[in-house]
């Protein structure tokens, strides 16, 4: 399936779109796609793997990202059994660069916002205190009228433009023009889907090359050019992100998690985990256990 161009209509009596919605699966309802609008996405309920350009990261509730124009993106939910009551909950704000008029970004007061929007072309993750502030503003936006919504969006952009709690998502090597080529997008979509569905199995680059209708050498060149990653690096990123999820939510032993994520050698698993996450699996789990304990209410 080709990553889709998504046509976005502004809300009635508004110059942008504010959308709060539920769905059973991001991948089913909002596949790998792009559009000319900027998009601020707040994941209220769900977890899985987030793809923005060549960035591949685990996401969890309260994930907050600003994606630039025509930057391909998709959120894949964790591969867990779904019940009739299971769902994802998301809030999205989509706006064009000129939503406040063609001359707005030419004003001297708008220089910080202009710089922010340039940076957002590579995708931005919003974290720490700034994320808390932005989530509150987004909640306020849901209850606001059209004029107040526009003011709140300007407040959000001002807060982001003056924040240090943001980081760029795509790599310096990422080239947007490679990713929005229709044939490339179709191939990358098939590869994403296959690797996710076989994350715990041996994944042959030769088989993947056949899936992409390329010879192995041609596939290797194509994948590196389109994503900025080697295929091996891409698979390791997905496997380690899945391992992170299991470390946080499951009581499995670390060795079991390594095997469940496709690593038959625990030393290689530990080495890849340290290289990608900057700490070993045990320390990662301990870090998250501590965070979750700190979030628990104290004794009454």
Give me the pLDDT at residue 10, please: 43
Co-location of 133 and 231 in the same domain: no
**How many whole angstroms separate alpha carbon 49 and alpha carbon 27?**
10
Co-location of 207 and 269 in the same domain: yes
Give 98's Cβ-side CA count (13 Å radius). Answer: 4
* CATH code: domain of residue 222: 1.10.10.60
* CATH code: domain of residue 140: 2.60.120.10
| Within a domain: 298 | no
Q: Which domain holds residue 189?
A: 181-292
When pLDDT is cut at 50, 70 and 90, the band that residue 197 belongs to is: confident
Co-location of 86 and 141 in the same domain: yes
pTM of the predicted structure, to 2 decimals: 0.69
* Cβ-based neighbour number of residue 211 at 10 Å: 15
- How many structural domains compose the chain? 2
Residue 42 predicted with pLDDT over 90: yes
Co-location of 100 and 26 in the same domain: yes
Instruction: Provide CB contacts within 8 A for 141, sequence distance 6+.
Output: 18, 93, 149, 152, 153
Co-location of 56 and 193 in the same domain: no
DSSP one-letter string for 171-199: -TT--HHHHTSHHHHHHHHHHHHHHHHTT
- Whole-angstrom CA distances from 119 to 20, 101, 123, 124, 181 are 25, 20, 7, 7, 22
Mean pLDDT of 124-135: 96
Mean pLDDT of 183-192: 76
Residue 117 DSSP code: H
Both tokens of 176, joined, read 């947007």
Mean pLDDT of 147-165: 94
Give me the pLDDT at residue 128, please: 94
């Amino acid at each position: 399936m080709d990553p889709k161009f998504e046509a976005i209509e502004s809300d009635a009596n508004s110059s942008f779109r504010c959308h709060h919605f539920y769905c059973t699966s991001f991948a089913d309802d909002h596949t790998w796609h792009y559009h000319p609008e900027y998009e601020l996405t707040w994941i209220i309920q769900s977890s899985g793997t987030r793809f923005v350009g060549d960035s591949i990261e685990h996401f969890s509730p309260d994930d907050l990202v600003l994606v630039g124009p025509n930057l391909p993106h998709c959120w894949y939910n964790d591969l867990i059994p779904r019940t009739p009551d299971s769902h994802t909950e998301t809030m999205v704000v989509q706006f064009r660069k000129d939503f406040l008029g063609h001359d707005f970004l030419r004003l001297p007061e708008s220089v910080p916002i202009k710089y922010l929007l340039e940076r957002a072309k590579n995708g931005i993750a919003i974290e720490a205190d700034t994320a808390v502030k932005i989530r509150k503003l987004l909640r306020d936006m849901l209850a606001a009228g059209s004029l107040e919504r526009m003011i709140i969006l300007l407040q959000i952009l001002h807060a982001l433009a003056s924040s240090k709690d943001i980081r760029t998502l795509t790599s310096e090597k990422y080239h947007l023009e490679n990713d929005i080529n229709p044939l490339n997008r179709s191939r990358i979509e098939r590869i994403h889907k296959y690797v996710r569905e076989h994350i715990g199995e041996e994944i042959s680059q030769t088989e993947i090359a056949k899936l992409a209708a390329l010879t192995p050498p041609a596939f290797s060149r194509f994948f590196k050019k389109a994503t900025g990653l080697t295929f091996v690096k891409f698979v390791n990123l997905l496997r380690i992100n899945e391992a992170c999820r299991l470390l946080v939510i499951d009581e499995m032993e670390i060795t079991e998690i390594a095997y469940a994520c496709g690593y038959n050698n625990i030393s290689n698993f530990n080495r890849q985990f340290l290289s990608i996450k900057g700490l070993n699996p045990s320390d990662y789990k301990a870090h998250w256990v501590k965070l979750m304990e700190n979030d628990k209410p104290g004794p009454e």
